[in-house]
């Protein structure tokens, strides 16, 4: 049986209720929970906050290694529409 992770486990990149600020858009996102993880990082359920946000629910992907994330984004753009 695999032990369950707890939120204070250093394997988590983000914490619940942590607020993230996008450097590009200046929008803020409140983290709810970890959805999953894989070779390129972790994905969290989050909600956009602020007056103009509309409270949109989003997924936030976090990676410790930028090169893997850039490769994935590149191939995602390359394959867009196929």
Contact 30, 49 (CB under 8 A): yes
Q: CA dist 74 to 11, 67, 77, 80, Å? A: 26, 10, 5, 10
pLDDT (0 to 100) of residue 73: 81
d(CA 8, CA 59) in angstroms, rounded, equals 21
Per-residue model confidence as pLDDT tens digits over 17-64: 999 998 888 999 999 999 999 877 899 999 999 876 678 999 998 888
Instruction: Report whether 49 contacts 21 (CB < 8 A).
Output: no
- Tell which wins on pLDDT, 11 or 14: 14
**Would you say residue 80 has pLDDT above 90?**
no
Is the pTM above the cut of 0.85? no
């Amino acid at each position: 049986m695999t032990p369950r992770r707890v939120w204070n486990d250093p394997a988590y990149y983000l914490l619940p209720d942590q607020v993230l600020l996008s450097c590009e858009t200046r929008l803020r996102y409140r983290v709810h929970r970890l959805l999953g993880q894989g070779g390129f990082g972790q994905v969290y359920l989050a909600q956009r906050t602020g007056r103009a946000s509309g409270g949109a629910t989003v997924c936030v992907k976090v990676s410790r290694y930028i090169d893997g994330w850039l490769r994935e984004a590149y191939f995602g753009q390359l394959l867009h529409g196929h």
